[in-house]
């Protein structure tokens, strides 16, 4: 096992070569680290700004062995890394952060909610759905409408369906293709918040100010941060984030999505064991952004400061919205971050822009 903190010149491995991997790689290189990307897509956005890329599937044993040997620490930009891959990396001598517990818990929505409730982080009520009977019982208990999701995988609103009437239950279940599912009660929230937080190998934690998020069709459109919340809400969110980080014995940055029900009641919608789209505002609002924070945490460096110096509106540019780059590039208060993706497929995250609203 490598000695921590990792000195500059060490190598960081990243599973996943998309925009999150790209921005992690850029942060790592500012701190003097070399980066190796593993991604099946040749010439990936992250691979193009990194020392090298291994082009292979995430469960390719030889590729994982090679990555584990090349890298002193391995991290990932997405949470659906097979558990066997993590074991293979550890066998090849690499540290892996976040660790297997965080991955296992966040890969299954039932395990996740069970864990959250156990550490005092409340969620909506839910029911495990394996059969149509389970679903009908669940709908009766949780009320209508309710949200049916696959237990595993799915992101940005994929693999989920709202059920508004009992008679729609069979079709809804069928739309998930027979995969194990979870039924979630509807949360009547006044707004969606999220908190980005980090924990290092020694258990120190650092929590950024809350962001307020707006989704469309299950996809994040904007984050406004720091969110205009009262001190009580900020304190409550921090306590929830810290309970989750400690409960998972977590190392790295985590994203925690929250429903604000009003009256200082926060429910956890979901957690993402990685840097998070709702934390992109930190690039232009904080001295140490979420990407550097994650690198610091996994490399065993002290965590950086999380205070905001500017109020930011982060906006995702999806598909051909990226064509706005020309107009946006002329605005002194709009900070463009482009991901180097060639094809602007509809809905694809191509870039984001941080609008500086003022100092904090």
| Ramachandran class of 81: left when φ > 0, alpha when ψ lies in -120 to 50, beta otherwise | beta
Residue closer to its own copies by CB (options 7, 120) is 7
5 binds its own copies (CB under 8 A): yes
Strands 181-185 and 211-216: unpaired
Residues 76/33, Cβ–Cβ less than 8 Å: no
Residue 217 assigned ligand-binding role: no
Please indicate if the annotation marks 107 as binding a ligand: no
d(CA 286, CA 27): 14
Question: Does position 351 bind its own copies by CB under 8 A?
Answer: yes
At 348, is the secondary structure helix, strand, or coil? coil
Backbone angles phi, psi at 264, to 5 degrees: 60, 25
- 270 versus 289: smaller Cβ distance to its own copies: 289
Consult the annotation and say whether 324 binds a ligand: no
Q: Which is nearer to its own copies, 8 or 143 (CB)?
A: 8
Q: Which stretch binds its own copies (CB under 8 A): 7-15, 78-86, 162-170, 215-223?
A: 7-15
CA–CA gap between residue 179 and residue 54 (Å, rounded): 31
According to CB under 8 A, which residues from 8 to 47 bind its own copies? 8-9, 22, 25-26, 29-34
Residue 54 near residue 66 (C-beta atoms within 8 A): yes
Q: Which range of residues in 54-62, 141-149, 175-183, 300-308 is near its own copies by CB under 8 A?
A: 300-308
Q: Which of residues 315-344 bind its own copies (CB under 8 A)?
A: 322, 325-326, 329-330, 332, 335-340, 342
- Please identify, using beta-carbon distances, which residue of 220 and 328 lies nearer to its own copies: 328
| Annotated binding residue 269 | yes
Rounded to whole angstroms, the Cα distance separating 231 from 1 reads 42
Tokens 């060639």 correspond to 342
The residue behind tokens 């989920």 is 160
- Tokens for 342, please give them: 């060639």
250 assigned to a ligand binding site? no
Query: For residues 240 and 256, what is the distance between their CA atoms, to the nearest angstrom?
Result: 9
Consecutive H or E run containing 295: helix 290-298
Write down the least CB distance from residue 47 to its own copies, Å: 9
Build a one-symbol-per-residue string for 261-290: x at contacts with its own copies by CB under 8 A, - elsewhere.
-----------------------x--xx--
Q: Which residues of the chain form contacts with its own copies (CB under 8 A)?
A: 5, 7-9, 22, 25-26, 29-34, 48-51, 284, 287-288, 296, 301-302, 304-305, 309, 322, 325-326, 329-330, 332, 335-340, 342, 351, 356, 359
**Binding site residue list for ATP:** 109, 149, 154-160, 192, 215, 269-270
């Amino acid at each position: 096992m490598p000695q921590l903190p990792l000195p500059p010149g060490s190598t960081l491995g990243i599973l996943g070569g998309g925009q999150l991997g790209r921005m992690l790689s850029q942060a790592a290189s500012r701190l003097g680290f070399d980066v190796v990307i593993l991604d099946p897509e040749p010439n990936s956005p992250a691979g193009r700004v990194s020392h090298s890329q291994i082009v292979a599937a995430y469960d390719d044993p030889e590729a994982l062995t090679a990555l584990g040997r090349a890298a002193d620490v391995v991290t990932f930009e997405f949470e659906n890394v097979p558990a066997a891959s993590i074991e293979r990396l550890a066998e090849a001598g690499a540290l892996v952060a976040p660790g297997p517990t965080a991955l296992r818990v966040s890969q299954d929505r039932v395990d996740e909610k069970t864990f959250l409730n156990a550490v005092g982080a409340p969620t909506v009520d839910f029911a495990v759905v394996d059969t149509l009977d389970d679903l009908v019982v669940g709908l009766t208990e949780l009320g209508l409408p309710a949200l049916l999701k696959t237990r595993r995988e799915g992101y940005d609103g994929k693999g989920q369906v709202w059920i508004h009437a009992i008679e729609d239950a069979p079709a809804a279940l069928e739309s998930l293709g027979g995969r194990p599912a979870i039924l979630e009660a509807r949360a009547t929230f006044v707004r969606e918040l999220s908190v980005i937080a980090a924990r290092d190998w020694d258990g120190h934690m650092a929590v950024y100010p809350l962001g307020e998020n707006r989704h469309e069709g299950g996809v994040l459109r904007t984050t406004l941060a720091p969110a205009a919340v009262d001190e009580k809400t900020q304190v409550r969110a921090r306590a929830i984030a810290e309970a989750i980080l400690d409960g998972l014995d977590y190392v790295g940055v985590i994203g925690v999505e929250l429903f604000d029900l009003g009256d200082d009641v926060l429910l956890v919608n979901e957690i993402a064991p990685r840097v998070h789209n709702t934390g992109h505002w930190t690039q232009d609002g904080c001295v140490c952004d979420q990407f550097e924070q994650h690198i610091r945490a996994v490399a065993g460096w002290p965590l950086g400061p999380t205070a905001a110096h500017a109020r930011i509106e982060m906006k995702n540019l999806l598909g051909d919205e990226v064509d706005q780059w020309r107009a946006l590039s002329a605005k002194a208060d709009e900070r463009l971050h482009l991901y180097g993706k060639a094809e602007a497929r509809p809905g694809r995250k191509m870039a984001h822009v941080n609008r500086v609203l003022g100092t904090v």
